[in-house]
A = this chain, B = another copy of it.
Amino acid sequence: CHREFGECRAMLAGAGLLLEAFELLESSAARLGLDPGEREETVASVAAAVGGGGVVGGQVVDLESEKKQVDGRTLEYIHSHKTGALIRVSCTLGARLARADRRTLEALAAYGEKIGYAFQIVDDLLDELGDSRDLGKEVGMDKARGKATFPAVYGVSESRRLAALAVEGAKEALAGSALEKDPVLAGIAGFILARQA
C-alpha cells in the first residue's frame, strides 16, 4: 500500500480501517445483545491491545531501539506489544463474546501469547535466512535497518529453540481446557513454526 500509493495515503488507510473496526465492534456488540459491562470490556480490550499499551507502544520502542544494542528484555517488550498483544486479543475475543468459561479464556490468552511470540521469532528468522521469492518481500531488511531481532540477540539456533519451545507451550496451555484436542488451534501453532513464507 505505501509503495503503490505513498506513505501518507497508506497511513490514512490505516487510520480509516481502525475507525471502521470500532464501528463494526460497536454494531456487533449491539446485535449480540452484550450488556454495558461486557461491551465496555470488549472495546477496552481491543483498544488496549492496539494502543499505547499494545501495538503502538511496541512500535515506538522498536523505533527507539533501531541501531542500538538491545537486550533480551527490551526485545521481549517490543514483540509482546507489537505483535503479541493483538494476536492474544484476537484469540480471546470470539470466546469472550461467546461467553466461554474462565478456564477456556485463560487457556486461549496463554495460547495467543505463545503463538504470538513464536510468530515473531520465526518472522525474524525468515528475514535473516528466508528466500525473498518465497516470502514475497525483501529479506535482510531488519539487519539493514539495525533492528532488534531474535537472531541478532540470541543467534539462529537458540532462536529456533525458543520458537519451538513457545509453540510447545501454546499447545500445553490448552491442556485441561475444552479446547485441548482442537485440531485448528494445534494446526495454527504448528504452522507458525513450519512456515517458510
Give the interface of A toward B (CB within 8 A). Answer: 6, 8-9, 11-12, 14-16, 18-20, 22-23, 26-27, 29-30, 33, 36-37, 39-40, 43-44, 47-48, 50-52, 56-57, 59-60, 63
Which single member of B12, B14, B47 contacts A22 (CB below 8 Å)? B47
Residues on B with C-beta less than 8 A from A59 are 12
Q: Is the CB of B12 within 8 A of A15?
A: no
Which single member of B12, B23, B56 contacts A12 (CB below 8 Å)? B56
Residues on B with C-beta less than 8 A from A56 are 12, 15-16, 19
Q: Is the CB of B44 within 8 A of A27?
A: yes
Q: Is the CB of A52 within 8 A of B8?
A: no
27 residue pairs of the A-B complex, CB under 8 angstroms, read A8-B63, A9-B63, A12-B59, A12-B60, A14-B15, A15-B15, A15-B18, A15-B50, A15-B56, A18-B18, A18-B19, A19-B47, A19-B56, A20-B47, A20-B51, A22-B22, A22-B43, A23-B47, A26-B39, A26-B40, A26-B47, A27-B40, A29-B36, A30-B36, A30-B37, A30-B40, A33-B36
Which single member of B23, B36, B52 contacts A20 (CB below 8 Å)? B52
Bound CA–CA A8/B56 (angstroms)? 11
Q: How many copies does the complex hold?
A: 2
Q: Name which residue of chain B comes closest to A50, CB basis.
A: B19
Q: Is the CB of B63 within 8 A of A16?
A: no
Residues on B with C-beta less than 8 A from A33 are 36
Residues on B with C-beta less than 8 A from A43 are 22-23, 26
Beyond A12-B60, A27-B40, A30-B39, 16 extra complex contacts between A and B, CB < 8 Å: A8-B63, A11-B11, A12-B59, A15-B18, A16-B51, A16-B57, A18-B18, A19-B47, A19-B52, A19-B56, A20-B47, A20-B51, A22-B43, A29-B36, A30-B36, A33-B36
